[in-house]
Amino acid sequence: MPIPSTLQKLIVDGLSSVRSHPSHDLNLGYRHAIWSAFGDDENGHRCRTFLAIETVRHVLPIWNKKFPHDDRPEYILNIAEKKLAGTISTEVAEKESERLWNSMQQLGYGGHGMAFTVGCAAVAALNTAIDDETFDPDDIDFNLTDNEDTEGNDSSFFAACAYADGAVWKTIAGEHDANKRLEFWHWWLTQAVPAAWSTVEDDSNVDWTFIKEAS
């Protein structure tokens, strides 16, 4: 299925916004708009879940380098895929989400840097598989930013934290890498989002020229 012009424009506008942002962040409002562009049906939910899972996989090397003998993120993603496939119950998935979120929060207190946020991203992806992303397609605010309390934030927020080695509001020099954040969101917009859209249907004839032109 050809990528719709509305989603093309959101990708291009998102790239522009990330480049101009002082810390090279992609506002939550842009992500809301992109999620909304996937649609509000089962296919839309599948796209959003695929996007969340692939986002986590992109940062798994960060986790594996820090915790080479801990495969919890892969385990969480496996549950998310089973939930999407309907081979695991919502009750079981929710219990695992709560248990693993608590364990990732505890890991965050252990002085391991930001690698633990990869695990948080995995739990967020599982929650997407369970309940979908949280957004109102009729109330998109492109200026909306992420919740500093982090509870309920989406997988891409946590993945960006891991990739840039800090949350976007850590503005003191050395607490996060803005150039790495730019690199992450460029990948997310130009590769992850189109790949998620392609899960709707085989799109071997889609022309991705607009991405090359915007990059």
pLDDT greater than 60 at residue 208? no
- Note the pLDDT of residue 200: 72
Of residues 91 and 151, the one with the higher pLDDT is 91
The span from the CA of 203 to the CA of 54, in Å, is 18
| Percent over 90 (pLDDT), the chain | 80
- Note the pLDDT of residue 63: 98
Of residues 206 and 52, the one with the higher pLDDT is 52
Which tens digit of pLDDT belongs to each residue from 114-142? 999 999 999 999 999 999 999 999 999 99
Which tens digit of pLDDT belongs to each residue from 25-46? 999 999 999 999 999 999 999 9
Which long-range contacts (C-beta less than 8 Å, at least 24 apart) are formed by 84-93?
84/46, 84/49, 84/129, 90/130, 93/126, 93/129, 93/130
Which tens digit of pLDDT belongs to each residue from 50-62? 999 999 999 999 9
The span from the CA of 169 to the CA of 179, in Å, is 15
The span from the CA of 128 to the CA of 202, in Å, is 23
**Domain range annotation of the chain:** 5-214
- Note the pLDDT of residue 214: 55
Contact 31, 185 (CB under 8 A): no
Contact 165, 177 (CB under 8 A): yes
Contact 57, 172 (CB under 8 A): no
Which tens digit of pLDDT belongs to each residue from 93-110? 999 999 999 999 999 988
- Note the pLDDT of residue 111: 81
Q: What does the pLDDT average to over 19-26?
A: 95
pLDDT greater than 90 at residue 2? no
- Note the pLDDT of residue 204: 41
Q: Is the pTM of this model over 0.75?
A: yes
The span from the CA of 175 to the CA of 215, in Å, is 27
Sequential DSSP letters for the chain: -PPPHHHHHHHHHHHHHHHHSTT----HHHHHHHHHHT-SSHHHHHHHHHHHHHHHHHHHHHHHHH-TT--HHHHHHHHHHHHHHT-S-HHHHHHHHHHHHHHHHHHHTTS-TTTHHHHHHHHHHHHHHHH-----TT---TT----TT-TT--HHHHHHHHHHTS-TT--STTSS-HHHHHHHHHHIIIIIHHHHHGGGS--TT---HHHHHH-
Token pair, residue 103, equals: 């364990």
Confidence of residue 3 (pLDDT cuts 50, 70, 90): confident
Mean pLDDT of the chain: 91
